[in-house]
Amino acid sequence: MKAAVLVFPGSNCDRDMAVAFERAGADVTMVWHKDTALPSDVDIVGVPGGFSFGDYLRCGAIAARSPITASLKAHADRGGYVLGVCNGFQVLTETGLLPGALMRNANLKFVCRALDLRVETSQSDFTSGYNAGDMITIPVAHHDGNYTVDDETLAKLRAEDRIAFTYGANPNGSTADIAGVLSENRRVLGMMPHPERAVDENHGGTDGVAMFRSLVGSLETA
């Protein structure tokens, strides 16, 4: 299974994501944002956390217009898998690959700690390693993680079972406690918490391992 991890100026979780994929059995290529094409045989693209372009203008807005992003969108449009974490989630909303927007945290403070998440659906290759209703602990580190959607979009996300994770205790004011959402075809996941920072006991927990294992396993047998 082939994975690519994008690297923007200001990315700081690209290596973490690559290691998480590698430990799950994926062959990983790092792709610089000025490249114009992804590897031709890539199965999944990881869009990592960090502060791409210093979060100037709007978090993820400049990265969403980098040369590689056109190839990212084309990959998703033809049914390829994409995982966007934290700043990567912001990039995915800026590109229109996922609905909604990530706004400034309601308390106007940077949040950095491990939080309990509820798995809302196991019906995706990202979450099939969990059971719906499971509580897992995943770190967060963000200042603009307040996921915001209108009532119509929220109703659609709920009706289509596209809310992947919710917070046990909402840290940022996110609509309906949402921590992660899926695309309509369930092959794009964006989430603010960092599963790649929960794949080793030395991280303080391993609740992120199941995501990478189930995802890589699903793609290897597809």
* Residue 218 neighbours by CB under 8 Å, 6+ apart: 125, 128
Whether 59 sits among the annotated catalytic residues: the reply is no
CATH code of the domain in which 192 resides: 3.40.50.880
Average pLDDT on 52-75 reads: 89
Given the residues 13, 33, 59, 196, select the one marked as catalytic: 196
Number of domains in the chain: 1
pLDDT, residue 55, reads 79
* Residue 19 neighbours by CB under 8 Å, 6+ apart: 196, 199
pLDDT, residue 222, reads 65
Whether 196 sits among the annotated catalytic residues: the reply is yes
* Mean pLDDT of all residues belonging to the chain: 95
Whether 22 sits among the annotated catalytic residues: the reply is no
More confident position, 108 or 51 = 108
pLDDT tens digits, 166-182: 999 999 999 999 999 99
Share of the chain above pLDDT 90, in %: 90
Please give the residue range of the domain that contains residue 40: 2-220
pTM for this prediction: 0.96
pLDDT tens digits, 195-222: 999 999 998 899 999 999 999 999 887 6
pLDDT, residue 189, reads 98
Given the residues 86, 94, 120, 142, select the one marked as catalytic: 86
pLDDT, residue 212, reads 97
